[in-house]
């Protein structure tokens, strides 16, 4: 569980809810028509904008904002030092029994290609393609969240216009002015909350997660290529340490 995401959501919604409660009854901020306009309109417009497969896959992408299962760079370096020393002492084929124990599909595939004896250039081309498509998939998820963040306030404005039109048409009946004005204002409120507290922050977190994952993939690729070339374990360690900030680099050495 990513504590920053959890704390951010609890803090932001908690403070908004506290402000609502201290100002009066929270029930006045509940409007079914407003919710239908904002949620229905936002989801519908997004489905028009993207293929259904991308929309259905969004939940899997959003999980990355709450859960992070990435290995730390220091752990990756430690693994590759073990692989490099083993390959140097016993040969590349000594890595084959380890493949069954590796959970990361990217790392397992890279080592499998190395054990199979492919040229470093061929390995690099295959693995770089995987990284490229990984970035593309992550980019789509982030874009969808950004689009949701753009549509939500727009649908809120549409709801505001609907409420104002209803209010102006029934000015002769004072009892209808209040409900129509509530729809007008609450749709804007709902749209702003969804955009600025949910969708836009999620898009930013997904971009950060994507950069972190790509960095680790690049580290793994660099280590695999170094092993396939038979480089000295010390050189491999220095190459992988170059991916880390100086403080973490010293700890990993």
What the block records as the tokens of 71 is: 């290995």
Q: Which SS3 state, helix, strand or coil, does residue 170 take? A: coil
State yes or no: pLDDT of 253 exceeds 50.
Answer: no
pTM of the model: 0.81
Mean pLDDT of 196-223: 92
Instruction: Kindly report the average pLDDT of the chain as a whole number.
Output: 87
- 58 has pLDDT over 50: yes
Q: DSSP H helical segments within 70-170, as ranges?
A: 73-90, 105-115, 120-169
At residue 48, the pLDDT reads: 94
Give the integer Cα–Cα distance in Å for 82 and 73.
14
């Amino acid at each position: 569980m990513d504590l920053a995401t959890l704390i951010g959501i609890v803090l932001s919604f908690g403070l908004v809810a506290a402000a609502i409660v201290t100002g009066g009854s929270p029930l006045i901020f509940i409007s079914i028509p407003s919710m239908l306009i904002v949620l229905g309109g936002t989801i519908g417009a997004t489905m028009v904008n993207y293929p259904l497969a991308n929309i259905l896959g969004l939940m899997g992408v959003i999980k990355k904002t709450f859960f992070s299962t990435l290995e730390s760079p220091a752990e990756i370096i430690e693994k590759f030092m073990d692989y490099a020393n083993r390959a140097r002492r016993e040969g590349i084929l000594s890595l084959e029994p380890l493949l069954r124990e590796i959970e990361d599909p990217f790392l397992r595939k890279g080592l499998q290609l190395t054990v199979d004896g492919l040229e470093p250039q061929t390995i690099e081309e295959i693995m770089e393609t995987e990284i490229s498509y990984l970035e593309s998939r992550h980019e789509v998820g982030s874009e969808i969240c950004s689009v949701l963040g753009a549509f939500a306030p727009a649908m809120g404005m549409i709801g505001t216009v609907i409420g104002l039109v209803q209010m102006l048409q029934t000015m002769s009946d004072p009892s209808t002015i209040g409900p129509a004005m509530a729809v007008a204002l609450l749709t804007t409120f709902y749209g702003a909350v969804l955009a600025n507290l949910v969708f836009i922050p999620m898009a930013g977190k997904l971009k950060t997660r994507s950069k972190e994952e790509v960095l680790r993939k690049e580290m793994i690729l660099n280590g695999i290529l170094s092993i396939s070339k038979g480089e000295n374990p010390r050189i491999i360690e220095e190459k992988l340490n170059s991916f880390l900030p100086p403080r973490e680099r010293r700890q990993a050495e």
